[in-house]
Amino acid sequence: ETVVNRIAAGEIILRPANALKELLENSLDAGTKTIQILVKDGGLKLLQIQDSGHGIRKDDLAIVCERFTTSKLRTFEDLSSIQTFGFRGEALASISHIAHITITSRTADSNCAFRACYADGKLIPAKPGANPDPKPCAGNVGTQITVEDLFFNVPFRRQALRNPNDEYNRILDVVSKYAVHNSGVGFSCRKQGSATADLHTASNAAPVDIISQLYGSTIKGQLLKLICQDQNLGFSAKGYVTHANFSLKRFTFILFINNSLALKKAVEGVYTTMLPKGSHPFAYLALTINPENVDVNVHPTKREVHFLHEEDITAAVVEALQATLANCNE
C-alpha cells in the first residue's frame, strides 16, 4: 500500500513547485497575512513555508498528514477543490509519501507551539526510538511546514529534475502569481544561505504595484483594468492587462481559477492583431464562474479546467479586452 501511495503521489506532484502550490493554498486558507518561503536546491533538498495563519491544534497535528483529513467544509462543487488536486485532504498526505515533513504550529489559544514529524501519512519520532507525539516548543502563532528530500524514494522522478535553478525559477513563478492574486498578503522567497530575498512583496501593496515589482518596473503605467461579466453565462472576470503598445520578455498570462488554454490563446490572439510581431503582453485575470458550470471530473494531473459556456465566456473576455485596449488609444 505504501508503494501504491508513493506512486500516486509522484504522479500528482511532479516537481517542487507543485508541492509549494499546495502549501501556499493551505496557508492562504488559514487566513495568513504573511508567507515566507525558504528553498534549497530548487526545493529538492528543502522547501519551507512559514505563515501567520490560524495554526493547527496539537490534537490535529496527529492526523493532518493522513489521507482525506480536511478541516475545510466543502461541497463537491467547491471550486477550490479543483483548483488543487480535485480531491480533498490529500495534499499533505501525498507529500508525506515522497518527502520528510516537519510541521511546527501554534494556535492563538495555546501558549506554545508544537512540532511533529511525518512519514507515509503518520507521525514518526524526530529521532529513532523516541516518542512520535507532537512536542511543545517556542513559536509564533501560525504554521511552519518543512519539506525535505522531496522524491528521495521516487528515484525516476528525482532524476528527471536535473537543474535546481530551473526548479527554483518555477517556484518563483508560482509565488509571483499567488502574490499578484493575493495583494493582502506579504510574500517573500529566498534561497537558504542567502541574506536577501529574491522576491518580496508588502502585505498592503496594490495589485498594480505588485505586478510592476514582480514583472518589471517598465510595466507600471502600462496596465489597464479589465472588468467583464455576464449573468447569463454565470461568470465575471477582473484583472489587469498591458497596453497594446507595450511588450515584455514573454507573454505572461495569470489566470485564476485555473488555466484555460482556450482563453489564453484567445487573449494572446487579441494582442497579436494589435502588437508588432515578437511583442509580449501581460494579462492577469481573476475569473469567477458559477460552480455548477465547472467540470469537476478532470483528472487531478490536468493543469487545465473546462467549464460550461467556455466558448461564449472566452468571446466575452475577448470583446472586453478589445474594448479596453481600444478605449485607451483614443
Give me the residues that bind ligand ADP (CB under 6 A), please.
22, 26-27, 30, 51, 53, 55-56, 64, 69-72, 88-93, 143
Nearest Cα to 98, choosing from 12, 164, 160, 21?
12
DSSP string, 244-268: TT---SS-EEEEES-B-HHHHHHHH
Nearest approach in angstroms of CB 37 to ligand ADP is: 12
Neighbour count for residue 128 (Cβ, 10 Å)? 6
Query: Rounded to 5 degrees, what are φ and ψ at 235?
Result: -150, 160
Q: Residue 96: what are its φ and ψ, rounded to 5°?
A: -65, -15
In angstroms, give the least distance from the CB of 45 to Mg ion.
23
Which residue lies nearer to ligand ADP by CB, 189 or 270? 189
Based on the shown chain and the rule CB under 5 A, indicate whether residue 26 belongs to the binding site for Mg ion: yes
- Identify which of residues 94 and 176 has a Cβ nearer to ligand ADP in the complex: 94
Q: How many residues bind Mg ion (CB under 5 A)?
A: 2
Listed residue (63, 60, 67) closest to 93, CA to CA = 67
Smallest gap from Cβ 65 to Mg ion, in A, equals: 12
Nearer to ligand ADP, 9 or 56 (CB): 56
- Least Å distance, CB 64 to ligand ADP, is 4
Is 285 a binding residue for Mg ion by CB under 5 A? The answer is no
Q: What's the half-sphere exposure (Cβ side, CA atoms, 13 Å) at 67? A: 10
Q: How far is the CB of 54 from ligand ADP (least distance, A)?
A: 6
The smaller minimum CB distance to Mg ion, of residues 91 and 321, is found at: 91
Residue with grid cell 473546462, as numbered in its chain? 306
Closer Cβ to ligand ADP, 194 or 301, answer by number: 301
Binding Mg ion (rule: CB under 5 A), the pick from 91, 179, 263, 275 is 91
The answer to whether residues 37 and 200 touch, using CB atoms and an 8 Å cutoff, is: no
Q: Which residue's CB atom is positioned nearest to Mg ion?
A: 91
The number of beta carbons lying within 10 Å of the beta carbon of residue 301 is 12
Sites for Mg ion among residues 217-236 (CB under 5 A): none
**Residue 89, contacted partner among ligand ADP, Mg ion, none, CB below 5-8 A by kind:** ligand ADP
Sequence-distant (≥ 6) Cβ neighbours of residue 81 within 8 angstroms: 74, 87, 88, 296
Residues in contact with Mg ion by the rule CB under 5 A: 26, 91
